[in-house]
Structure 1
């Protein structure tokens, strides 16, 4: 599974390795006569006295994450997924993992997939007591629970983050009662009880842990939530998307094309990436706003266009190899120092088995549901937070399946809300992040000196920042994340 990282030192040579999907973030820099690797990109940037990488920062400003091995520090690179470094005599060399081919016995990938999941989860339970399991109303955490033998579930404790309007708490509580599990529910609305100074300290600490490269508000919320419960070995469903296909925001509205076309890529970026993740132009220095948009659009298009596949396949590849890798991975990295975690859905054999299944059979979670049905037919028939039973997803992705077991009104309301959010540039933020963002801004207004390092970068509009401090404008979570990151990078 992932994430993990390790270093072996022998005969004056260091070998640095991380997981095959790139979740664990490890960094390196090479300069004439010397090279270095570390878990902190910021420390390497300081060591190398590097400048800001404005192209990489431009992409983050528009997409909310970095691409490939880029960081905000020029010349500091992340270890690529499925690669390792050898460092010796001042030189850094990069090598790729040997490819692992896994064929399903008797040709049934779902059976082999279910068996492998069960082996991983039971092995973890055999070696650790008091295990907790991240449990929501979604499919991936349900899959991990299905891999736990029924007679062993009573020894688990479900861990669920609760946010207003969500159904995670309801579904997790029902499952916990049904299988006699413990249940820890953490309501992020309790963040409102923090003082602005406490919230600012929480968010700043998260930005520093992430080297200014991630989403500090989300990381701070997770860190706070974890502090409300005892820490224990953890089963997690992170990375479950990697076994599926044709996923990502707006993919259901995309038409299939046999190749990746530039105009289709540009329309998708503007409609689904920029609308949700971009820092607004008015927040930025005018020159940087224009230049960063141009640079980021070009870089994002380049990543899509280099795919020698059909359009929907390129979309899936982007969300697997770029967004999950860099957006999700850095947040997951932040948690590995606090607890032992197994992410069985990212196991190499699991992913190889899934990849052996044709895309059309994996699309819309069809294949994943078949695996769950092999593990536990009962769980495959208990409704998710969406109201759908997982087994109902084992159909072709058509309007009939999208409607599923919901009412027409419920389906149209959900679909319509996606369209309206896009048309009006309404953003979806992680649970608790908007609340924490408001508290951070309140603290900045109390002590404006805290944002001076951000202003000194020359990337933020002085006029806009003055209006933020005086209270005539606000800032959403995406913008506060960017400001927090700049404060860390500038330092």
Structure 2
């Protein structure tokens, strides 16, 4: 039995250690001192804890590693003929087990930019399910989960908006007030959008003066200006962090920062986006952070207008993927092997369809569950995992109690942000009247009327046009700083074409396209550069290429 803790304090037999910078449960901080003497008692505490967090417990002859109820804090496990393991690093697990790239996982990531289900980018290295534990002992590795764990919304009672709005408002007010009591130095990530504004509105007005808020962007950007207004008017301390300095990085420095980012997100998210945010975050001191992650689940993220009852079908899954998922982070088709590209689309749609069908719900309710159990858990989770070891992160809208309220609503009550609009009005009607970035004020979603209906239709039409343009041109919108870093990474490859050797041998990327890239005959989209950086980083770390899918 071997336990490597990478700098953590030694864990005695029967002892536990959090694999994150703290955790929050039942409106109090969780540390080893509040965990129960038995696993049943400890599990009861952990089930109420906000993600992301994980816990390692030293057993007699083994270890137990447990993740939060949403699975936002990623933990991985696997086995071969010689050993079984659990790890906080998928790449380290793959190297130890001698596993290469998983072609199915590469296929999914080439279109979504992230992973589905329990897959990782590495063959037979799996992600621990939400609310589960991996136990490694003399019998190998096994996954344990509570018998009453509820992974979908099929067993939740219904609630009306009249019941849900005050219940959610009380929950957020109480949660935010008690957190600020314990952590007066907490920083609220404030954007020009709805989710972070709801969190701000849940803070009592008497507590807002001096509250630290943080926005990523440039002072002239609309998102920053909208976030600055309430901060200025209510006496909050507003910090704006910028990625402007990325322009001053050399191509080599930019490339190395993206490789470091790829390793931190286990090569399963956009390393350009994470590198840019990490660059900006380095400008400020780190501390407890309040994040609005999870609000999309409560507003019917994938709904376009009203939400009728539609059964789940493969055709519906394909349409959902084409219009709502693939345009966001897909690599440009011309960069990929044609056979692999065609196969990728088929298996990815099959996967999405399978996850939607597993919920047992109609299409719109199923897409809400898909967003929570897949996109939030895997896409947002891998990034949350990378940052939760350096600062406490609290996500009030991913509180199991808040999720239960959102699940109990009809899709039609969440669609067009009606529930969240009403929640914003309930919490702070004055802030509800302030327009958002590119969208009308939240009050128009709460009380649509003729003006609100027109504004909502205009917003939906704008989104539809943008998605159509992305689909037709195959040009996803790059993340903040992504275009700058992508250009510098390509410039590094011009000077060091051998750095792309792993991408040439993996069989997923067209060699002719790579030749044209390094000879400066074409430009690469940031989403394609992100995929290449992930593939090169994974294979450069000593892993064999995946098997040929043909």
Q: Is the 8 A contact 1:233 1:340 kept in 2?
A: yes
Give the counterpart of 1:452 among 501, 506, 516: 501
Query: Contact conserved, 1:234 with 1:342, CA < 8 A, in 2?
Result: yes
1:311 matched to which residue of 2?
363
Q: Give 1:136 deviation, angstroms.
A: 0.5
1:440 to 480, 489, 498: 489
Match among 327, 331, 334 for residue 279 of structure 1: 331
Q: Which of residues 384, 400, 409 in structure 2 aligns to 1:357?
A: 409
TM-score (structure 2 length as normaliser): 0.82
Unpaired segments of 5 or more residues in structure 1?
Answer: none
1:12–1:346 Cα change, 3 Å? same
SS at match of 1:28: strand
C-alpha displacement of 1:210: 1.5
In 1, Cα distance between equivalents of 2:463 and 2:265? 34
Match of 1:346 among 398, 423, 438: 398
Determine if the alignment matches structure 1 residue 79 to structure 2 residue 131: no
Secondary structure of 2:64's aligned partner: strand
Task: Tell me: CA distance 1:313–1:91, structure 2 relative to 1, closer, same or farther (3 Å).
Answer: same
Partner of 1:211: 266
Alignment match, 2:178 = 123
Question: Aligned pair in 2 of structure 1 residues 271, 149: CA closer, same or farther (>3 Å)?
Answer: closer
Q: 1:399, 1:371 → 2: CA distance?
A: 20
- Structure 1 360/198 Cα, relative in aligned 2: closer, same or farther at 3 Å? same
Residue 147 of structure 1, CA deviation:
1.5
| SS in structure 2 at match of 1:108 | helix
Residue 378 of structure 1 is matched in structure 2 by 430
Deviation at 1:165, TM superposition (A): 8.2
Q: Which residue of 1 aligns with 2:354?
A: 302
Alpha carbon RMSD of aligned pairs, Å? Answer: 2.7
Other-structure match for 2:18: none
**Conserved 8 A contact 2:261-2:275:** yes
Distance change (3 Å), C-alpha of 1:413 and 1:368: closer
2: CA distance between counterparts of 1:359 and 1:459? Answer: 39
What do residues 388-429 of structure 1 show as CA deviations (whole Å, max 9, x unaligned)? 221211146x996453389x6x88656534433333333122
Is the aligned partner of 1:225 residue 2:276?
no
**Shift in Å at residue 106 of structure 1?**
13
Which deviates the most, 479-488 or 362-371? 362-371
Any idea what SS the aligned residue of 1:183 has?
A: strand
Counterparts of 1:189-204 in structure 2, within 5 Å, are 189-204=244-259
- The residue that corresponds to 1:240 in the other structure is 295
Provide the secondary structure at the position in 2 that maps to 1:7. Answer: strand
- Partner Cα separation in structure 2 for residue 104 and residue 61 of structure 1: 39
Q: Kindly state the Cα deviation for residue 324 of structure 1 after the two structures are TM-superposed.
A: 1.8
Take 2:450 and 2:271, find their aligned partners in 1: how far apart are those partners? 38
Q: Kindly state the Cα deviation for residue 316 of structure 1 after the two structures are TM-superposed.
A: 2.3
Name whichever of 92-101 and 333-342 sits farther off. 92-101
- Is this contact kept in 2: 1:132–1:158, CA < 8 A? yes
Residues 45 and 399 (structure 1 numbering): CA distance in 2 closer, same or farther, change over 3 Å?
Answer: farther
Checking the alignment, whether the CA contact within 8 Å between 2:503 and 2:536 is kept in structure 1 is yes
CA distance in 2 between partners of 1:465 and 1:350 (Å): 47
257, 260, 284: which one aligns with 2:312? 260
The answer for the alignment partner of 2:529 in structure 1 is 480
Q: Describe how 1:14-413 pairs up with structure 2 within 5 A.
A: 14-32=63-81, 34-97=83-146, 98-99=148-149, 108-162=163-217, 166-245=221-300, 247-248=301-302, 251-252=303-304, 256=308, 258-395=310-447, 401-404=452-455
Q: C-alpha displacement at 1:341, in angstroms? A: 1.6
Instruction: Provide the secondary structure at the position in 1 that maps to 2:56.
Output: strand
User: Where in structure 2 are there 5+ consecutive unaligned residues?
Assistant: 1-49, 151-155, 542-550
Could you say if the C-alpha distance between residues 48 and 364 of structure 1 is closer, same or farther in structure 2, counting changes exceeding 3 Å?
same
> Which string of whole-angstrom CA distances, capped at 9 and with x for unpartnered residues, describes residues 59-106 of structure 1?
111221111010111111001122222332243222334448899999
